A and B are shown apart, each in its own frame.
Chain A
Amino acid sequence: MLDYFLAALTPLNFLLALAGVAAGTIIGSVPGLTATMAVAVLVPITFGMPPESALILLGAIYTGAIYGGAYAAILLNTPGTPSAIGTTFDGYPMAKRGDGDLAVTIACLSSLVGGLIGAFALLLLAPPLATAALAFGPGEYFWMAIFGLSLIAALSTRDFLKGLIGACFGILVAMIGISETSGEVRFTFGSNTLLGGIETVSALIGLYCVPVLIELAARSERHLDAPEQTRGFRLPEAFATLMRQKVNVLRSSLIGTLVGALPGAGGSIAGLVAYSEARRSDRSEPAYGTGNPGGIVATESANNATVGGGFIPTLVLGIPGTPPDAVILGALMVQGVRTGPTLFNDGSSIVYTFIFGLFLATILMLPTGLIIGRFAYSSIVKAPKAGLVPVVAFMTIIGSFAIRNSLSDVGIMLVLGVIGWLANRRGFSVSPIVLGLILGRIAEEGFVQSWTIGDAMGSIPGQFFGRPLSMVIIALTALSFIYPFLPDIKRMFRRGGEEAMPEKANAKDRASTAAILRDLAAVGVMAAVALVALWQCTLLNPEAAVFPQTIAIGMLVLCAFAALETLLTRRVVEDRSSGSTPRRIAVPVAMAVGVALAPVLGFALAGIVMALGLFLAAEHDKRTARGWLILAASVAAVILIFTLGFREALSVPLPRGMIF
């Protein structure tokens, strides 16, 4: 063992681990640049290296990228990688109240612990865990997706019905394109653009980030409260938080390791499951979803634990545990390394050197992560709005382009962003939509497969409800769904049910007729979406239609309930914050112009034109001509650097157009 440890510690490997973590953290912090992409870009570089060093570099980048996703989640409410979705729930509220620096440090410490626990599991328990993961069949994947969806109950306590409707909407959006299992073309309305489906990461960027940009431009107050004096890393505070949350850290890291070991799950689900469990067992104030550090601890420790966990099936079974693992597996094959049980049992030096390299990378994440995190925090807190909005907007565009090298993905991102913003105004939170989008596909696959197998075996209920592992997940799901309503239910019993919802009677909550009409219109639009989906389903073969059909019918029923609730209670949940409407409209318009100009002018120049528009939309301060010039020049410089970096370092074929 010690030999392997020493082999991992050669100066070259040490340098590779350090560089990998730093590069990964930076890449992961840009929304759109995922861990998968970071790893894929660097694969050719590793061909010239010895296999151990190659693996260490790739593992380090992967680790760093998963952690880096937390920055954008905390500071911009936009998960940098899908794994960081859960981090936005509490990270952004913390940043809003001025604790962004603390949140970043907590994320770093949690990632460290999660990463170490995942790596320990890989070192000590890999073969048995890989075997255990195989027990997870289609039924279990289906129920796990439903378990993830149970988070809706928590994320939309403002209006549970609207949360459910939003999730159905997300699921239907996920069905667009060629179905990978049934091979059917669904909901594309003849458009080639939609054929490839809605890319999850670009959808995430649009749904989370565009509304933030719109609201940033609309009002003059600062994006995040800046601290009066620098407070350093706030390491002791973060450490104390983690000590208070030690059960949470351990549980979330274990969840992350186990979910990571499931081929077909991945970091985003691990984070969501851990978050859901943490919320259920933690009663401390402030509540989860409004800035409780426990939410960050849960998500970040779980998603970094999936790194080690995901390598378990990758190395033991030769089946990738997470998407980045698939890339690493391919790189290993090219290197001539055969994965599989023999690789582990023979105690071949590659595996153990790699695992110690992973430990090394994880530990190096502490200093690098803190320093880069500090830099990310201070640059976002200090940046004036007129600079922040164009730069972040450009990042969202270049990021969603880079995923599939496709401008139509950028267009879809923008459209979804506007939909997300409108939905949010009408009281449909974005997070349930995102959950539907991510979990819908997994749920459908598991559902159809269980159905097919059950049908063949002559026992469909047995496939869904008769499997022991499924039963456990079903029980957890039920708990998770009911839990947020426990106080209400208790109250209902205590008062003998005579007045279940005390708010109902409260006269000042009663909404105006205009608000009710607005609400009914929004619910009506959702119902119309469901109807269109139902109509489209009649054109599909039964296997491809059964799942979206069920969801659309459910969505219609929910819409009816929501309309009824609004009419009866005269209570409307919506977001009517103040701010300038022209500025709001200007943001997506400027972005759309930028996207349209990109193939004509070239990416960077179109970006600068767009930046100019956003600059005007978001400028609230009085600035001297000189200040204006400095700001404009620095925004242009950032855009140029990004374009060059993407084009040259990451080989992204950005449209060049006429100029640049």
Chain B
Amino acid sequence: MKKYMFAAAAGLVALTSGFSAFAQEFPPGQVEYIIPFGPGGESDITARLQQPFFEKLYDEQLVVSYKPGGGGAVGWSQLNSMADDGSVIMGVNLPHIIVQPKQGNVGYDTDDITNVYMFHYTPDAIVVRADSPYETLDDLIAEAKANPKKVTFSGSGKGTANHLVAIKFDTLAETTTTYVAFKGTGAAVTAMLGGQVAAEWGYTTVAAGQGDQVRMLAVAMEERHPTFPDVPTFKELGYDIVSGAYRGIAVPKDASEQTRRAVSDAIASINADPEFQQKMIDGGFALIDVPYGEEMDAWMAARAQEYIPAARAAGVID
């Protein structure tokens, strides 16, 4: 009898501990961090920067893996079929997840993605070669007005953040410029450095990487970037542009409310680490903090309102 009692007690203990494991806080163990792009891009680099801080925080591994294809669509369309216990998180990028589903059937809808945190963005910027005749944004605008179409910009592809901002800029500055789509930021930078185009619609990260080889004419931020105190914002110059490529984290839709908040908190604590902040700022990134919940919903709605008309104007969606 005693033996049975013992077994029952053991069973109960196992059961409750099982429950507590079920209700256990994040992380459930090793966490897979899926980047829906190939290695080496900004999404990968920032994930790699987060990696050691996550491990410091939880003493669990954060494994970065890649699922490239379709400009991220392959990964996002599979997100909701993945493990929902917090062991899988995926990087999300804007404007991609807003614009792509409007372009046709890409296997997911914007609302299918459960965003839990937006942690940084790469602000749009106009970048020229150091020996370019354009010293200021006004120089460039004057040239564009004198010679419509002839000022060429390289950019990272149609429908990306910097394509949309190029269209918006043309409207606000009343200019006609030519946007030449390249395959990603690296190729766009190469074309600008090689003088194939007059300027590049790039990001602050480009200037952080290229140093004194290049000059930024303006950045699309609320305030100047700490790494580039001398570069004016578009706002200062009279153009209401604050934009860039935003990056965040999403979880599968079946993840519990608790897991969603836990992941959100985890990314928030990494973002709050001064050492992490310094590394991001040195790389030219700009940190933002949009946590899970109403704040995220409002933020996403605002972005959709901004991107969808821009994409329509750019002819990327109907």
Q: Do A and B bind each other?
A: yes
User: Are A196's CB and B187's CB within 8 A?
Assistant: no
A332 to B190 Cα, complex, angstroms: 19
Q: When A180-B157, A196-B73 are in contact, do A263 and B38 touch as well, CB less than 8 Å? A: no
| Distance, CA A319 to CA B202, complexed state (A) | 14
A378, B182: Cα distance in complex, Å: 46
Neighbouring B residues of A36 by C-beta, 8 Å: 38-39
Secondary structure of the B contact surface, majority rule: mixed
Interface centre among A192, A264, A317, A456 (most CB of B within 10 A): A456
Tell me whether A319 and B71 are in contact (CB under 8 A).
Answer: no
Contacts of A458 in B (CB 8 A): 150
| Interface 0/1 of B20-64, CB less than 8 Å to A | 000000000000100000111100110011011000000000011
On whether A334 and B103 interact (CB within 8 A), knowing A192-B77, A197-B70, A404-B69, the answer reads no
A43 with B315: in contact, given A181-B183, A182-B158, A185-B106 (CB under 8 Å)?
A: no
CB distance from B38 to the nearest CB of A (A): 7
Is residue B189 contacting chain A, with contact meaning CB distance below 8 A? yes
Of residues 83 to 126 in A, which have CB atoms within 8 Å of B's CB atoms? none
Q: What CA separation (Å) do A416 and B100 show in the bound complex?
A: 28
* B160: min CB distance to chain A, Å: 8
Could you tell me if A195 and B107 are in contact, using CB atoms closer than 8 angstroms?
Answer: yes
Which one of A225-233, A322-330, A497-505 is at the B interface? Answer: A322-330
CB pair A405–B65 under 8 Å, yes or no, is yes
Write the A432-456 contact mask toward B (1 if CB under 8 angstroms, else 0): 0000000000000100110011011
What residue in chain B is nearest A441 (Cβ atoms)?
A: B183
5 sampled A-B residue pairs with Cβ under 8 A:
A181-B158, A195-B77, A196-B70, A404-B69, A449-B180
Known contacts A136-B194, A195-B77, A449-B180; is-contact A333 B69 (Cβ 8 Å):
no
Task: Compute how far the CA of A196 lies from the CA of B64 in the bound complex, rounded to whole angstroms.
Answer: 20
B196 touches A138 (CB 8 A): yes
- Residue A347 at the chain B interface, CB threshold 8 Å: no
The answer to whether A453 touches B152 (Cβ under 8 A) is: yes
Is A30 among interface residues, defined by CB-CB distance under 8 A?
no
Q: Are A199 and B104 in contact (CB under 8 A)?
A: no
Cβ contacts under 8 Å, B181 to chain A: 181-183, 448-449, 452
Q: Chain A residue with minimal CB distance to B63?
A: A651
Tell me the complex Cα distance, A306–B198, Å: 30
The 7 closest A-B pairs by CB, nearest first: A196-B69, A326-B40, A134-B194, A183-B159, A196-B74, A192-B107, A183-B158
If A319-B189, A541-B315 touch, does A177 touch B69 (CB 8 Å cutoff)? Answer: yes
- In the assembled complex, how far is the CB of residue B81 from the closest CB belonging to chain A, in whole angstroms? 11
Which of A196, A329, A453, A653 has most chain B Cβ within 10 Å?
A: A196
A405 & B67 in contact (Cβ 8 Å cutoff):
yes
On whether A195 and B40 interact (CB within 8 A), knowing A264-B187, A404-B67, the answer reads no
Q: Which residues of A contact B45 (CB under 8 A)?
A: 330, 333-334
Contact among B73, B107, B186, B211 with A319 in the assembled complex (CB-CB below 8 Å)? B186
Cross-chain contact B38 with A341 (CB below 8 angstroms): no
| Chain B contacts with A in 207-224, Cβ cutoff 8 A | 209-211, 213
Within 8 A of B (CB), among A619-653: 651, 653
A183-B187 CB under 8 A given contacts A317-B193, A339-B209: no
Q: Is the CB of A460 closer than 8 A to any CB of chain B? A: no
| B151 (CB) vs chain A CBs: closest residue | A456
Residues of B with C-beta under 8 A to A183:
71, 103, 157-160, 163, 181, 316
B11 sits at the interface (CB 8 A):
no
B49 lies within 8 A of A334 (CB): yes
CA distance A453 to B192 in the complex (A): 13
Residues of A within 8 A of B66 (CB): 40, 404-405
Task: Check if B71 sits within 8 Å of A180, measured CB to CB.
Answer: yes
Given contacts A43-B48, A183-B158, A185-B104, contact A134 B32 (CB under 8 A): no
In angstroms, how far is the closest chain A Cβ from the Cβ of B219? Answer: 19
Of A138, A448, A457, the residue contacting B191 (CB under 8 A) is A138
A340 to B283, CA, bound (A): 13
- Are the C-beta atoms of B70 and A195 separated by less than 8 Å? yes
A residues near B (Cβ < 8 Å) are 36, 40, 43-44, 47, 134-138, 177-178, 180-185, 190, 192, 195-197, 199, 263-264, 313, 317-320, 323, 325-327, 329-331, 333-334, 336, 338-342, 404-406, 445, 448-449, 452-453, 455-458, 541, 543, 651, 653
Closest partner residue, chain B, to A449 (CB atom): B180
Q: Which residues of A contact B163 (CB under 8 A)?
A: 183
**A549→B40 CA distance, assembly (Å):** 33
Which residues on the A side are within 8 Å of B40 (C-beta)?
Answer: 320, 323, 325-327, 329-330
Question: Once the chains bind, are A197 and B189 in contact (CB under 8 Å)?
Answer: no
Q: How many angstroms between the C-alpha atoms of A195 and B106 in the bound complex?
A: 7
For chain B, the count of residues having a C-beta within 8 Å of the partner chain is: 61
Give complex CA distance A177, B71 in Å. Answer: 10
Contacts of A135 in B (CB 8 A): 194
Residues of chain B within 8 A (CB-CB) of A653 are: 32, 65
Q: Which of A136, A336, A445 contacts B279 (CB 8 A)?
A: A336
* Interchain CB contact under 8 A, A340 and B213: yes
Complexed CA–CA distance, A454 and B48 (Å):
40
Q: Which chain B residues lie closer than 8 Å to A40 at the CB level?
A: 39, 66
Interface centre among B48, B63, B182, by most A CB within 10 Å? B48
Q: Is the C-beta of B195 less than 8 angstroms from some C-beta in chain A? A: yes
Chain A residues lying within 8 Å of B210, measured Cβ to Cβ, are 317-318, 340
Contact A134 B195 (CB under 8 A): yes
Q: Known: A40-B66, A183-B157, A333-B45. Contact between A190 and B105, CB under 8 A?
A: yes
Q: Which A residues are CB-close (under 8 A) to B184?
A: 180
Say yes or no: is B149 at the interface (Cβ < 8 Å to chain A). yes
B197 at the A interface (CB under 8 A): yes
> A181, A336, A406: which contacts B157 (Cβ < 8 A)?
A181
The answer to whether A197 and B63 have CB atoms under 8 Å apart is no
**Contact across chains for A327 and B104 when beta carbons are under 8 A apart:** no
Report the minimum CB–CB distance from A545 to chain B (whole Å).
Answer: 14
B106's closest neighbor in chain A, by CB? Answer: A195
Which residues 57-99 of B sit at the A interface, judged by CB distance below 8 A? 63-71, 73-74, 77
Which of B32, B39, B67, B189 is A330 in contact with, Cβ under 8 Å?
B39
Q: Does B175 contact A (CB under 8 A)?
A: no
What mask results when residues 99 to 129 of chain B are scored 1 for a CB within 8 Å of chain A, else 0? 0100111110000000000000000000000
Asked whether any CB of chain A lies closer than 8 Å to the CB of B277, the reply is no
B48 touches A326 (CB 8 A): no
Contacts of A178 in B (CB 8 A): 70-71, 73, 100, 106
B180 touches A404 (CB 8 A): no
Residues of A contacting B67 in the complex (Cβ-Cβ under 8 angstroms): 404-406
The answer to whether B105 and A192 have CB atoms under 8 Å apart is yes
B96 CB to nearest chain A CB (Å) = 10
Q: Which residue of A lies closest to B194 (CB)?
A: A134
Given A326-B186, A406-B67, A137 and B283 contact (CB-CB distance below 8 Å): no
Find the B residue at minimum CB distance from A339: B209
Our pick among B68, B157, B182, B190 for the contact of A134 (Cβ within 8 Å) is B190
- Whether the Cβ atoms of B65 and A651 lie closer than 8 Å is yes
In the complex, are the beta carbons of B70 and A323 less than 8 A apart? no
- Chain A contacts of B157 at CB under 8 A? 180-183
Instruction: Say how far B279's CB is from chain A's closest CB, in angstroms.
Output: 7
Contact present for B106 and A47 (CB under 8 Å): no
Q: Report the bound CA distance from A182 to B159 in whole Å.
A: 8
Inter-subunit contact B38/A323 (CB<8 Å): yes
Q: Flag if A331 contacts B48 (CB, 8 Å).
A: yes
A526 to chain B, nearest CB (A): 27
CB of B69 within 8 A of CB of A320, answer no
Known interface pairs A180-B157, A180-B183; A452-B178 also in contact (CB < 8 Å): yes
Within the complex, what minimum Cβ distance (angstroms) separates A120 from chain B?
24
Q: How far is the CB of A217 from chain B (nearest CB, A)?
A: 32
Given known contacts A138-B196, A323-B40, what 6 new A-B pairs fall within 8 Å (CB)?
A43-B39, A184-B103, A197-B70, A326-B38, A331-B48, A405-B67
**CA A541 to CA B159, docked complex, whole Å:** 14
Give the most central of B38, B51, B52, B279: most A CB within 10 Å: B38
Within 8 A of A (CB), among B139-191: 149-150, 152, 157-160, 163, 178, 180-184, 186-187, 189-191
